[in-house]
Chain A
Amino acid sequence: MFILDSLLIGSIRFVLEKVVAAAEAEAQDDTSLREQLLEAQMRLELGEMSEDEFVDVERDILARIRELKGSQQGAFSVSAADKITGVDVESFEDERHG
């Protein structure tokens, strides 16, 4: 009994930690990309960057943000947490837009 219980607790903790780590990583990457975009916008307004250069930079950054979101969606859809503990896994996407 105890062995099963501790295995269960251990796996919950393991999964929760993974979920938190993934969320933090995703948030950081996203933030830094958004900051880069803001910086590019600032440089454009200061005339340090041309419209064309800005358009390229913006396109790249937005693509990377989309990429990031896409890969995260995939990870969550096969999360073991759903099955083992029934923990409600929120998409951090929703949290940001909420």
Chain B
Amino acid sequence: MAARAGGRVLVVSADPAHSLGDAFAVRLTASTSTVRIGRRSLRAVELDAGRAFARWMRGHGRALADIVEHGTWLDRRDVDGLLELAVPGIDELIGLVEIVRLASGPPGFDVVVVDTAPTGHALRLLASPRAVQSLVAVLDALQREHRIVREQLARVSRPDASDRLIAALEREAVETRELLLDSSRARFHWVMLAEELAAEETADGLRALEDLGVRANEIVVNRVTPAGPACAICDPRRAAESKVVEAVRRRSGRTPVRLIEAELTEPRGIAALQRIGAALHSQVAGQAGVKARAAAAAGVRIFRSASSPSPLSAASLAGTRLLFFGGKGGVGKTTAAAAVALRLARDAPGRRMLLISTDPAHSLADVLRAPVSDEPRSVDGAPRNLHVRELDAPAALAARRAGLEASLQAISAALGSVNVGAVVNQSLAELVELAPPGIDELLGVLSVLEARESYDTVVVDMAPTGHALRLLEMPAVAREWVQALLRMLLKYRKLVRPGPLAGELVALSRQIRTLQTLLADRRATRFIAVTRAAELPRLETSRLLSRLRRLRIATPILIVNALTFNDRACARCKATQRAERRELARLRVLCRSHRCAIIEAPLAMPPPRGIGSLGQWAQTWIA
């Protein structure tokens, strides 16, 4: 829309599992591409955090290395080794930096539209400038001695490259924070589905945004069922959706709520997107509603009368130690994970099981309709041998703070950095309060490591695709860091005794190695991908399966969720079913090449919530 109006527009995807190119039906890369809109055009790009970071390092790596050398007794080789390590939370740390870089590059843009990662990590992205500021304080402390020496002994008062880097990082962080908080320059549009889980996540997300000082400008409820004739599927759908929309409107206060109707085929390509944009733009907030038929029976479920043609064999999962559930946001990961966990726990009452959510935007409590906290606990109505936990990464970090502080002090001493102790503590305190990028993946891995010791089976409900993959990559990253530190401790052991820090690092290294062995064991560890029979989810699933194969993680199962099996459907639903069957066929081809089995799970309307309802739904697709 903005491009049509003649502005220069840049669209950026900051979700590591990019879908922007799919939506435009244009192949996008990490360099800006031109997308034609009639006679005008816009530029679009899908961020590649790894490449962006490498580019940044090419420009600033030397100054950064100098700072570390100045502040420690490490030599150049040591420092170069450290700077080659992967960085947890890299997508969020480099994300805003890269967006600002692209936005200020040629030809200069009037509007930059950012498609962020799902909720939890979008919030981490917005918190990243403050995280950078905390890290800059440590760099500054490392540089301090050198600065003093230069000024007093060499009588040089001009800032060197390192000083300039520190100043630039601080300045950019401050500017970015101000930009995000300036409502005349930055706007936030929250997009959700008309589903209860999405509504809960939205309420939590908006509250978190407000904590960051940001107010959403608009809430867009997507894929709302349009008005139509009586239909066994559409009617309960509209009834459920209208309840959700009403609730959203009630809680939204002054924030306008707009609706986008579901389309038969997913809108892909410029023409389709323009149509949606126009409809959205012309809509007066608050007027559109979901026209639910008052006569629709409440609590109607839609299941296929016979069971699913391809059910999941619970027996095939018996004996699994780690079961990961991942997939695109909104496809039903959490619901499927809960259903499977309940069933496995029931089948094997002697096995201790843990169902844990590592998605910072948790949905387990909403799916189970039961209180779930950071303390693993059994749930009323569920088998006693099943414990449930929603990892609260910021809280878990805060709980470890004392130990972390001690470790960081020991590391500072081991690296020979003087005078940074107080600053490191201060930065740690700030980061602990902030919930910095990477924290969910780091603590996610730690919590799985811990769980292994107390539970026979751990079912992990992961964040959506992009960050699920980051979590699975984290053990290798963590091990590299641990090894780098061990190498330093060994090298400088005559200067500083390795001590308890070395012992802890050795223990941690062992645990990570054990976890990596477990992850590679195709019978003990399985990844269950969840998707829907629609184009964008299928495309994302295809990329997910390829990445999992490269990580050597067994993915024997793909659950295709929310399939409409019912025959008593309106013309629209019948057309949807035909589209679903086409997508299913494509998914079957995909699964043949990845050697995974397809499990078909039916749509339930309203979506299954609560133990009883989950069990009923599970019976139709878990054998």
Contacts and interface: CB of A to CB of B under 8 A. Distances in A.
A43 B487 CA distance: 8
Interface string B487-516: 101100100011000110110011001000
A42 B505 CA distance: 9
A43 B483 CA distance: 10
Interface string A10-48: 000000000000000000000000010011011101100
A46 B81 CA distance: 14
B486 A46 contact: yes
Contact of B487 (A35, A39, A46): A46
Interface string B214-231: 000000000000000000
Contacts of A46: 483, 486-487, 490
Most buried by B among A35, A39, A42: A42
A57 to B, nearest CB: 14
Contacts of A42: 486, 489-490, 498, 502, 505-506
B483 A45 contact: yes
Contact of B510 (A35, A39, A43, A45): A45
Contacts of B487: 46
A39 B490 contact: yes
Contacts of A38: 498, 502-503, 506
A41 B498 CA distance: 12
A35 B500 CA distance: 11
A45 B487 CA distance: 10
B493 A39 contact: yes
B596 to A, nearest CB: 34
Contacts of B509: 45
B525 to A, nearest CB: 22
A96 to B, nearest CB: 15
B449 to A, nearest CB: 16
A89 B396 CA distance: 46
Question: Main SS of the interface on chain B?
Answer: helix
Nearest to A45: B509
A45 B478 CA distance: 13
A78 B502 CA distance: 39
Contacts of B482: 45
A39 to B, nearest CB: 7
B486 A39 contact: no
Question: Main SS of the interface on chain A?
Answer: helix
Contacts of A45: 482-483, 486, 505-506, 509-510, 513
Nearest to B499: A38
A43 B498 contact: no
Nearest to B509: A45
A34 to B, nearest CB: 10
A39 B486 CA distance: 10
Nearest to B512: A45
Contact of A39 (B483, B498, B505): B498
Contacts of B489: 42
Contacts of B498: 35, 38-39, 42
Contacts of A43: 490
Contacts of B483: 45-46
Interface string A32-70: 000100110111011000000000000000000000000
Contacts of A35: 497-498
B501 to A, nearest CB: 11
Contacts of A41: 506
A43 B497 CA distance: 15
Contacts of A39: 490, 493, 498
A83 B620 CA distance: 84
Contacts of B497: 35
Contacts of B490: 39, 42-43, 46
Nearest to B500: A38
A24 B502 CA distance: 24
A46 B479 CA distance: 10
Nearest to B490: A42
Nearest to A34: B503
A7 B605 CA distance: 99
A30 to B, nearest CB: 14
A46 B481 CA distance: 11
A71 to B, nearest CB: 26
Nearest to A41: B506
A41 B513 CA distance: 14
A2 to B, nearest CB: 49
Contacts of B486: 42, 45-46
A46 B505 CA distance: 11
B564 to A, nearest CB: 53
A42 B506 CA distance: 6
Nearest to A40: B506
A46 B493 CA distance: 15
A46 B487 CA distance: 7
Nearest to A48: B490
Nearest to A31: B497
A42 B483 CA distance: 9
Interface of B: 482-483, 486-487, 489-490, 493, 497-498, 502-503, 505-506, 509-510, 513
Given A35-B498, A39-B493, A46-B483, 10 more contacts: A35-B497, A38-B498, A39-B490, A39-B498, A42-B486, A42-B498, A42-B505, A43-B490, A45-B505, A45-B506
Interface of A: 35, 38-39, 41-43, 45-46
20 contacts: A35-B497, A38-B502, A38-B503, A39-B490, A39-B493, A41-B506, A42-B489, A42-B490, A42-B498, A42-B505, A42-B506, A45-B482, A45-B505, A45-B506, A45-B509, A45-B510, A45-B513, A46-B483, A46-B487, A46-B490
Nearest 6 Cβ contacts at the A-B interface: A45-B509, A41-B506, A42-B486, A42-B490, A45-B506, A46-B486
